[in-house]
């Protein structure tokens, strides 16, 4: 029997609720603020400016990312701090972690791409765990 397909709101509401149990206390102490906009959920951490975490369910691929949203110079510098650890992050997360430009805004990002897959309970569990581990693995360099 197949799994039912979740809508974006249900998917992100449940992911946010599960983060309380998956994110370490050190990260939860930064009081995550969640913003949901149609096909994406952004996670802002108190006192960490110019960056946010994001899961975006795009038409061509699904993205779990850390976006650097400041002017080009600082955005590039933040992204470059991750260059020496990309292989370690990829190994730790079991996914290819990339770093580079984010669209045409001059922003930079560190991200994982996943193929487009229906939004099922199974995918919710997989992405929630992957996103929480991505946040935990990248946080020390961001902090």
Q: What are phi and psi of 111, to 5 degrees?
A: -155, 165
Distance of CA 67 to the CA centre of its chain: 8
The proportion of the chain whose per-residue pLDDT surpasses 90, expressed as a percent, equals: 81
Looking at every residue in the chain, the average pLDDT score rounds to 93
DSSP label at residue 143:
-
Beta bridge partners of 53: 43, 66
Asked whether 62 and 117 are in contact (CB, 8 A), the reply is yes
- pLDDT band per the 50, 70, 90 thresholds, residue 104: low
pTM of the model: 0.94
- pLDDT band per the 50, 70, 90 thresholds, residue 91: very high
Look at residue 63 and tell me whether its pLDDT is greater than 70: yes
DSSP result, 44-90: E-TT--SEEEEEEE-SS-EEEEEEE-S-HHHHHHHHHTTGGGHHHHH
CB atoms under 10 Å from CB of 75, counted, come to 22
Task: Strand 97-102: give its sheet, edge to edge.
Answer: 33-37, 40-44, 51-57, 62-68, 107-114, 97-102
Position 2 scores a pLDDT of 61
């Amino acid at each position: 029997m197949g799994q039912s397909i979740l809508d974006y709101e249900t998917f992100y509401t449940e992911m946010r609720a599960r983060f309380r149990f998956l994110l370490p206390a050190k990260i939860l102490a930064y009081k995550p603020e969640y913003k949901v906009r149609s096909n994406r959920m952004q996670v802002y951490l108190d006192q960490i400016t110019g960056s946010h975490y994001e899961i975006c369910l795009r038409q061509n691929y699904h993205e779990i990312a850390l976006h650097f949203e400041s002017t080009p110079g600082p955005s590039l510098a933040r992204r470059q701090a991750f260059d020496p650890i990309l292989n370690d992050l990829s190994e730790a997360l079991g996914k290819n972690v990339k770093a580079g430009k984010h669209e045409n805004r001059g922003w930079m990002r560190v991200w994982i791409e996943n193929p487009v897959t229906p939004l099922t309970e199974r995918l919710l569990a997989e992405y929630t765990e992957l996103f929480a581990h991505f946040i935990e693995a990248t946080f020390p360099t961001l902090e």
